[in-house]
């Protein structure tokens, strides 16, 4: 099939993206690594001894950042429905966390440890239809929030990617029911034209 003009344009932008080039030099699997680095430097989210869960982790760039930062004494876990090449010191589970069997397997991996931080950089495959894309993005966000409500310890934090579109304010209000503070972050590595923004839920309510 002949590539469309849109896909050619995206590929050209991707190849020429300075953040993509920086990621290759640094050995990161995706440019998204720099988004987490910037937010972590600002908010000091990841610390030694923490248990961190990376939802929708493939290809693994956020896990690459988190794993060394929780040492010594901590552990990084990653879940994705897609396969992911191993990341040093990361416990990866492939599966759909909406399924009870996958959650049960994950809880075995946790071995009774409380989760300190949930990370989610998940996004749907984009269709180009803003209404459809916003809806699917909010669905993923709601799944991640529900996961946090079930597994995050009181006082724990969650960082999640969302789109500033339909359902954004409603979802932020839902986060405010769970966390004592909710702030937004737009890291430099996010493309200017992108509607993505990161919501940071701080201090999960008991």
Which residues are annotated binding-site positions for S-adenosyl-L-methionine?
60, 62, 80, 96, 121
Task: Provide the 10 A C-beta neighbour count for residue 101.
Answer: 9
Q: Which of 2, 5, 8, 161 is catalytic?
A: 161
Q: What is the rounded CA–CA span in Å between residue 116 and residue 46?
A: 9
Residue environment code for 83-98, b if the CB has 16+ CB neighbours within 10 A, otherwise e: ebeebeebbbbeeebe
The verdict on whether 161 is a catalytic residue reads: yes
Based on DSSP, count helices (H) and strands (E) in the chain, helices before strands. 7, 7
User: Which residues sit in the known binding site?
Assistant: 60, 62, 80, 96, 121
Tokens of 2: 């002949």
Answer for the pair 90, 78: CB distance below 8 angstroms, yes or no. Answer: yes
Answer for the pair 64, 87: CB distance below 8 angstroms, yes or no. Answer: yes
Catalytic positions are 161
């Amino acid at each position: 099939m002949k590539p469309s003009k849109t896909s050619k344009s995206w590929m050209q932008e991707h190849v020429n993206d300075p953040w993509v080039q920086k990621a290759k030099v640094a050995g990161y699997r995706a440019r998204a690594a720099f988004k987490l680095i910037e937010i972590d430097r600002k908010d000091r989210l990841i610390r030694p001894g923490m248990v961190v869960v990376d939802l929708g982790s493939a290809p693994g760039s956020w896990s690459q950042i988190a794993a060394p930062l929780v040492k010594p004494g901590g552990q990084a876990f990653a879940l994705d429905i897609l396969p992911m090449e191993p990341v040093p010191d990361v416990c990866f589970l492939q599966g759909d966390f909406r399924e009870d069997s996958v959650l049960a397997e994950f809880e075995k991996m946790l071995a009774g440890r409380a989760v300190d931080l949930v990370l989610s950089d998940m996004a749907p495959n984009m269709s180009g239809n803003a209404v459809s894309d916003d809806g699917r993005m909010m669905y993923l966000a709601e799944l991640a929030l529900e996961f946090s409500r079930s597994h995050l310890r009181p006082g724990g934090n969650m960082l999640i990617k969302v789109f500033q579109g339909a359902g954004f304010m409603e979802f932020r209000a839902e986060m405010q029911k769970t966390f004592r503070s909710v702030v937004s972050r737009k890291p430099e590595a996010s493309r200017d034209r992108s509607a993505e923004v990161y919501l940071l839920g701080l201090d999960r309510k008991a």
